[in-house]
Amino acid sequence: MFKLRLFDFSQSDYEAMAAIHNQAYSDSRMRGADFKRIDDYTPQDEYDWERTVAEWNGKPVGYGLYVRALWLSTPDLYLIGWLTHPEFRNRGIGSAYWDHLEKEIFPNRQISSLITQARSDAPGGRPFVENRGFHQTQKTTESILNITSFDPRPYEPLLQDIKGRGIDLTPLSELMESDPDHMAKLVELSHVRTDDEPSAEGQEPLTEELFRNYYMSSDTFYPEGWFIAVDKGRYVGWCAVLPNPKRTEHLSNGITVIARSHRRIGLATAMKVHVIQHAREVMGGTQIRTSNVSTNPMLKINEKLGYVAQYDSFEYKKVLA
């Protein structure tokens, strides 16, 4: 017997949601705690969001989400998503959730448009949203680098050149102890990321509170591997490697940010190489995973470093008003 019900915020519901996600995507490493952390920093009365669970004979087999995307500048924009356990696909579960949104959620809200995502390795996802009037706005490529075979020697002259310019690549862990203004400088540099990161929708700049919540509140926060490019006390770039609590040898590369004043000198490449060496020599990693929007110049840099594409994630939008 099939039914939709509201998410109850219990540990069992969070763990079930993580299990569905990990079954649907072979590369996923989500935990119930990861979803709970997201919810804890997204007040429902402010963001207007709701999770829904699909049950088949009492077993959670899918989950859905709608949330008002206040972190994007488009007014009254909502993000929606649905994921079904692979063994329960093609049973109308996704359609039932969409019907729920159309009949019970959308009519009671002032919504200008919807955005959603579909992955190239998730069968049926793209036709599902396209048949419901969504159009593609952006493509993001997920890539992996085998760092056990990475050769840093060709990049040694570049690293020396960056050092010769007086730019130090310093772990955030050191700056947190030595620089009382490190948070203000990080937030300021994050505004460069907000302005420059390719996005189909404009992004709102992060406040210090949101910055802490987004970057520093998870157990994957690893300041020893978050390197800051410092030029005469000014933060001009960052690049980070993130640990994986489930598989310690499989790491992730956080977004790379370079101040406009320090571009076209190879700083982004130098920081990525520095991070790769740290990941291999200090963290014992065997691979690093990253993602880039197709229009992001970082995608070409990663390809030159040896990253190999795994799948694409497509962003879709539907205008309602």
Has residue 127 been placed in a domain? no
| 175 backbone dihedrals φ, ψ, rounded to 5° | -70, -30
Quick one: which of 152, 167, 165, 138 has its CA closest to 237? 167
Whether 190 shows a pLDDT value over 80: the answer reads yes
Question: If you average pLDDT over residues 149-178, what whole number do you get?
Answer: 98
Whole-number mean pLDDT of the chain? 93
Structure tokens at 262: 């320090």
**Residue 284 region, left (φ>0) first, then alpha (ψ -120 to 50), else beta?**
left
Q: What pLDDT is attached to residue 60?
A: 97
Whether 244 shows a pLDDT value over 90: the answer reads no
Q: What pLDDT is attached to residue 197?
A: 58
* Domain of 266, in residue numbers: 143-311
Residues 157 and 275 grouped into a single domain: yes
Quick one: which of 192, 292, 178 has its CA closest to 238? 192
Residues 95 and 148 grouped into a single domain: no
Beta strands at 113-119 and 77-84: parallel, antiparallel or unpaired: parallel
Residues 75 and 185 grouped into a single domain: no
Residues 54 and 199 grouped into a single domain: no
Is residue 17 very low, low, confident or very high in pLDDT (cuts 50, 70, 90)?
Answer: very high
Q: What pLDDT is attached to residue 163?
A: 97
Is residue 1 very low, low, confident or very high in pLDDT (cuts 50, 70, 90)?
Answer: confident
The C-alpha atoms of residue 30 and residue 249 are separated, in whole angstroms, by 16
The C-alpha atoms of residue 31 and residue 14 are separated, in whole angstroms, by 8
Whether 217 shows a pLDDT value over 80: the answer reads yes
**Facing residues of 308 across strands?**
144
Tally of structural domains, the chain: 2
Q: What pLDDT is attached to residue 93?
A: 96
CATH of the domain at 103: 3.40.630.30
Question: Of 90, 111, 132, which marks where a domain is finished?
Answer: 111
pLDDT one-digit tens code per residue, 176-185: 999 999 999 9
Question: If you average pLDDT over residues 25-45, what whole number do you get?
Answer: 89
